[in-house]
Chain A
Amino acid sequence: MIVLWGVPGDGPLDAVHRCLSRLGADVRVLDQRDAARSSVEVRAAPHGLLLSIEGPRTMAHLEFEQVGAAYLRPVETEQALPQDIAGDRLSRLHANAIDRAMIAWADVTTTMVINPPAAMAVNNSKPYQLRLIAEFGFDVPQTLVTTDPSAVRAFAAQHGRLIYKSVSGTRSIVNTLTDTSLERLECVENAPTQFQEYIPGCDVRVHVVGTEVFATEVRSEAHDYRYASLYDQDVELLPVTIPSEVAERCRSMTARMGLSVSGIDLRHTPDDSWVCFEVNPSPAFVYYEAATEQPIGDAIARLLIRADIEHQQLRAGVVAVDNIQRKPVCA
C-alpha cells in the first residue's frame, strides 16, 4: 500500500495521486485536515515504529506495517486544520500529536519515504545546505551571514553586485541589494542576515526522481523567477538536456542527502560552470510539468509503486519464513 500524506488540493499531492490511480496502485490519502478527529497508536520495534491511525473517513484505518511507500507533503498543523476547529487548543494539540507520530514514523521506517522529514529539514538552513552542496562538488555562491553592516560593505566591495535572502526557508524571496536597501543596512544588527555574490547566467531547475533527471531551463528577467508575476515579469520554461556529468552529480547529491526526489536550482554561467543554489526536498514540480510536459509526477508514482512491490515481496517472504518457523516439529 502507498500512503500520501498532506492536504488534498495541494498540486504535487494531487498530481502523484492521479498518476498512482491511473497506474492501478493501492493508494490511500491520509488527509491532514482529519488529524484532530483521528486516533493514533504507536509502538517501538527494531524495524521502526508500529503505527496505527484511525480516521473519520471511510477506509481511514491505516496499519503502517502494510505501507510499502509514502509520499509526504505536510503543511504546518495549524494551517491544515479546518477553520471551525483551528482555534481550539485541545484540537490543535491532538492534531499536532498525530502529525508528530507521522513524522517520527517517516524518520525511522525502513520503507521508502519521499522524503524523510529529517532529510528534508536540511533545507530549513540555507547556509548549512550550501556547505553540504559544496562538499558534493558543486560550485556555490560566496555567501556572508552577518549582523555587522561593515562586513556587508566589505563583502560588496569584494564581489560587486549582491543579493540577499532569508537564512531559513521562511519569507525566502531573493532581492538585489540596491543603494536604497544599503540605507537600511544598520537593520542587520537585529538578526543574522544572508548576502550572496550575484551569479550571472541562465537558471536551470533539475528534478531528480530516483535515477531519472528532468532539466528545465528558466528564461526570465526577474531576480527570483518564482515571484516574477509580482514584478510584471514573464517566465518561459523549456525542457533541456544538461551535461551527463552535471546530471550524475545531481543524482549523487540527492541520494547522499537521503532524498529520493529533489528540485535542484542551478545557474549555468557564461564561462560554462554550473553553480548550485539550493536543493528543494519537496519540489512543487507541477509548475514545471505543466509548462514542459516532462512526466515528473509519473516518475514519482512509478518510484513509489516499485518500492511498494519490493516491500510486499519482502513481507511475503518474511511471513513465509515465519510460518515455517512456527510449524510444530514432529519427532
Chain B
Amino acid sequence: MIAVLGSELDRAACKLVEAWSAVGGVLLSARDLCRRGWVFRVPNDRKGSFVAGAVARPIEALRGVVVRRPAVAAEELAWIAQEDRQYVAAEINAFLVAWLAALRCPVLNRPTATSLSGPAWSQIQWRVAAARADVPWADPIEADTVAEVVFCGDLHCGAPSKRQVSYGTRLCAASGADLLGVQFSGDAVAAVTPQPRLADQGARDMVLAYLEHRAAA
C-alpha cells in the first residue's frame, strides 16, 4: 500500500492515488487523522496502526508514503468546533511530524520540524543553499524557457542536461530531501519545491519505482 498524504482538494494528490490504484494507492486526508484507529508508540513503534481512506490498517501494510502538503491547515478541519481548530491542527501536525519521521518504509519527503515534507525553505533560502553548493540561480527568469525536472533519489525525469542533473543532485544533497521538483531556466535554477506535482506518467512511474525499490531493500 502506498499512502499519499494530501487533501481531497489537491487534484495532483488524487491523480497520484488513481494512478497507483493497482499497487494500493490510498489518500491519507486530514479527516483520517480524526478517526479511530491511529496507534503510535515512542520510543519503539511496533504493531502500530494508521487510518487512510477512512479504514484503520496495520503499519506493516504500508510500503511507502508521498507527502503532498507542508502542513494541515486549521481551516480544513470543518468537523472540529471553530474555537478548537487551531489547536487540533497544531496537534495533528505535531503528530504527523513524529509519525512520518518514525516510519520504516520510504517517505517522500521525510518531515522536518517545520514541514511535513522536507525543508520549509523559502525561495531565498533555496538561493542560499544553491550558492553554497555552487549551483547557478537564474536571475532574472526567462519565463518561456523554464522547464521542471523531478529528482527522486538517484533518478530524474524531464530530459535534463548533464549540468541540470548535477545541480539537482547537489540541491537534493544540500537539503536532505529525496524528492525535489527543480525549475531550470537554461542550466540555472529558477525555483525549487519539495512537493512536485508529479503530473506526468514518467514522473509518477519514477517515484513508484523508487518507493518499491527502497521498500524491498
Contacts and interface: CB of A to CB of B under 8 A. Distances in A.
Given A118-B114, A145-B95, A148-B36, A42 B102 contact: no
A107 interface: yes
Nearest to A186: B36
B125 A46 contact: no
B39 A148 contact: yes
Contacts of B98: 125-128, 131, 145, 167
Given A49-B128, A134-B42, A190-B88, A128 B101 contact: yes
Contact of B37 (A119, A130, A131, A147): A147
Contact of A171 (B36, B87, B101): B87
A330 interface: no
B55 interface: no
Contacts of B101: 128, 131
Contacts of B102: 131
Contacts, number: 138
A317 interface: no
Interface residue range, chain A: 35 or more
A104 interface: yes
Interface stretch (A136-144, A227-235, A296-304): A136-144
B38 A146 contact: yes
A168 B90 contact: yes
Contact of B40 (A146, A171, A191): A146
Interface in B81-117: 86-88, 90-95, 97-99, 101-102, 112-114
B127 interface: yes
A108 B87 contact: no
Given A168-B90, A170-B87, A121 B114 contact: yes
Contact of B94 (A143, A168, A189): A168
Interface residues of B, number: 41
Nearest to B86: A170
B113 A189 contact: no
B95 A192 contact: yes
A182 interface: no
A192 B112 contact: no
B37 A148 contact: yes
A128 B130 CA distance: 29
B87 A118 contact: no
Contacts of A151: 39
Interface in A157-183: 166-171
Contact of B113 (A45, A104, A128, A130): A128
A144 B38 CA distance: 10
A166 B86 CA distance: 13
A92 B87 CA distance: 21
Contacts of A122: 113
Contact of A189 (B34, B91, B130, B132): B34
Contacts of B34: 147, 189-191
Contacts of B56: 148
B112 A189 contact: no
Nearest to B43: A134
B93 A168 contact: yes
Contacts of B19: none
Nearest to A120: B113
Interface string B4-37: 0000000000000000000000000000011111
Most buried by A among B51, B88, B128, B131: B128
A124 interface: yes
B125 A104 contact: yes
Contacts of B78: none
A44 interface: yes
A124 B124 contact: no
A8 interface: no
A153 interface: no
A46 B87 contact: no
A100 B113 CA distance: 16
B41 interface: yes
Nearest to B115: A121
A48 interface: yes
Nearest to A151: B39
Given A46-B132, A49-B128, A128-B113, A140 B38 contact: no
Nearest to B79: A190
A104 B35 contact: no
Nearest to B32: A147
A143 B93 CA distance: 17
B124 to A, nearest CB: 5
B122 interface: yes
Interface in A185-202: 189-193
A119 B112 CA distance: 10
Given A117-B114, A146-B40, 19 more contacts: A44-B127, A48-B128, A119-B113, A125-B94, A125-B95, A127-B94, A130-B42, A131-B42, A134-B43, A140-B42, A146-B38, A148-B37, A167-B95, A168-B94, A191-B33, A191-B88, A192-B38, A192-B40, A192-B91
